[in-house]
Chain A
C-alpha cells in the first residue's frame, strides 16, 4: 500500500485541515496552487536540488557511532548528520524550498516565527541568499534567552521583532507572524518552520525535509548492509522527524519512533509532550494533539530544549500515532542531557539538545536489543547554540 496523505483538502485522517480566519483563505489558496504547480516543475526541482547540494552541503553523511554503541552494549546506532548542514540543522532544507517558492511567486518579503532562533537563522540565511527582505518574530522571553541567535539574524540582514504578547514564546511568535501575513498578504511569504500550520504547510515542509529519508534509504544499505530496524527522531513541531520518517512509512519492517520532550517529567505537568500527554484540538490552523487545559485554553510548555517547547505537534504525527504506524515516547531533560554529554565524550560530536532527546531514547533501548539490530537516529542539529544552557544547568559560568 502506498502512503498517500494528506488528502486534497489537507487532512491526515481527522487531523490537519485549514482552520484559519477568512482573511487568510485567499493567501493559502494562492500558496497551495503555486506549490502544486512548482513542486511538479522539473526546473524548480532541479534548482532545489542544486541549492541543497552546493549551498546546504547535501547529502549529509550517515555516521556509525561505533564507540558509543559499544559502550551501550547492544544495537548499533547510526546517526544521520543533519548537524553538518549549512546553518547547523535540518531547518535549512525547508527554508531553501520555501524561499525558492516565494521567489517564483514574486514575493519580495519573507517572514518567519522562531523559538530558539534556529528557524529564524535559517530563514534570515536564505533571505540574504535570495535578496529578500526578512522579518523574524520571536517571543520576547526567547529574545533574551537566545541573544547569540538574535545577533546572527541581524548580521544576516533580518529584522527581529520581539513579541510581548501571551507567554512571549514560540506560539506567540507564530500568532504574531500570522497577523503580519494577513496584513501584508500581497508582497509577503510566510516561511513556517515546522510541519504544522494550515494546509499546505504540513505537507510542504515535510516534502522539503523528506530529502533526509530519501538519502537514508540510499545510504543505509551501503553502510549497514540494510535498512534500519528503527528510525528515531525528536518531535517538537516535528519537521526533522517527518523528514526522516517519510520515505520509510511504506516499509512496514522499519519501526518509526518520535521522541517528545518530557521536561521535568510528564507527571510534573512541566513538559512539552503533546502526543504522549495531550488531546486533540485546533490551534495554529490545524487539528492535532495539543497541550490544553480542560477549558480548551493552550497551556505553557517546558523543556530544556527551546526547539521542542511547543504545545502542539504537526498533524501528520497525530495521524501516524492514531494509525499505529509510528510510536511516540517522551524523554526527560536529565536523560537528554546525559545523552548530550555521552555523545560529546564518546564520539566527539556536540549534538543539539533537541536531537539529544532522540539520542537518549536510542541509548535507552540499545542495551535491550541484540548487536545485530540497527537504530538510525536523526542528529537533526548541532549543539553550539546550546552551550550557555548546558553550562548553566551544569552550574558553570562561561
Chain B
C-alpha cells in the first residue's frame, strides 16, 4: 500500500480529514525548506505538497508566483527539490510528499530519470498542473512503473466524460479546484462545492482533496466537512513571505496548528 493510501485510510478509521499544506521548495531559501516540512508535520499536516519552482507558473496567483521567483533566485532546480525530499525522508518515513509544479522542468530532466529519482528520494505523488490526462499517457507510464501516484486536478468546469477519464488514471487522491481562478483567489462558493463533491464521488473512488482559495480556519472547517482533505497553499506562502527568517518556522507552524484544530471539528 502506498504512503498516500495508508495515510488516508488511517484518517478514515479515526474519522479525521487530511490537512494538506503547500509550500514552494526553496522559498524563502534552500536551507529552510526541510525544517519547514518537519514543522508542518509536527503542526498536524497529513500530506505535504511541495511546489517545484517554475519561471512561468500560469495557473498560480501572484502569491505563489512570488514564492517561485524567490526560489529561482537561489537557483533551486528540480534535482535540488528531490534532494530536499530525500533529506526530509531520512527523518520522516511516513508523511507522504507530493511534488506539484509544471511539466517543463520534468521534461528537461526526462520523465524516466525523474520517476526513478522520485522513487529513490521518497516522493509519493506528482501533480503536473499543465499536463492534463490527454497529454499524460506516456509521462505517467513512467510514474506508474516506479510506484509514484499521478495526482490530477478537477475543476468546476470539468465535464463528466473528463471526470471519468481522470478516475481511470488517478492514484492517491484527486485535487478539486474549488473556484474558477488561480491559486489564492477570492471567494469560495461553499454550496457549489457541496453540490459538486457527491457528484464527483459517483466516478471517483479515491479520496478528494479541495483547494484554491482556502484562507482561514473557518473556511478550512467548512470545506473539510464536504470532502476528505483540505489543501492550503497561498495562505501559508503568504505567512512565509511576511515572516522574518527567525520566526518563519514558528509562524507557519502556528498557522497550520490553527487549521488542524479547525478541521478536526469536521
Contact = CB atoms under 8 A, between A and B. Distances in A.
Q: How many B residues touch the partner, as a band?
A: 35 or more
A165 B62 contact: yes
Contacts of B131: 19, 282
B107 A281 contact: yes
Given A22-B152, A22-B177, A183-B181, A284 B157 contact: no
Nearest to B154: A22
Contacts of B72: 297
Interface stretch (B32-40, B50-58, B219-227): B50-58
Given A297-B72, A298-B104, A25 B135 contact: no
A25 B134 CA distance: 11
A178 interface: yes
B180 A182 contact: yes
A388 interface: no
Nearest to A11: B135
Interface in B168-209: 177, 180-182, 185
Q: How many A residues touch the partner, as a band?
A: 35 or more
A36 interface: no
A288 to B, nearest CB: 11
Centre residue among B66, B109, B152, B180 by max chain A CB count within 10 A:
B180
Contact of B108 (A21, A23, A292): A292
A182 B182 contact: yes
Mostly, the A contact residues are mixed
B180 A294 contact: no
Centre residue among A178, A179, A184 by max chain B CB count within 10 A:
A179
Given A166-B55, A284-B56, A295 B132 contact: no
Contacts of B159: 26, 29
Contact of A296 (B61, B69, B106, B182): B106
A17 interface: yes
B155 interface: yes
B241 interface: no
A303 B159 CA distance: 43
A9 interface: yes
B105 A175 contact: no
A285 interface: yes
Given A20-B59, A283-B56, 8 more contacts: A21-B129, A21-B132, A26-B158, A26-B159, A175-B57, A179-B61, A284-B56, A295-B109
**Nearest 3 pairs between A and B by C-beta?**
A296-B108, A26-B157, A296-B105
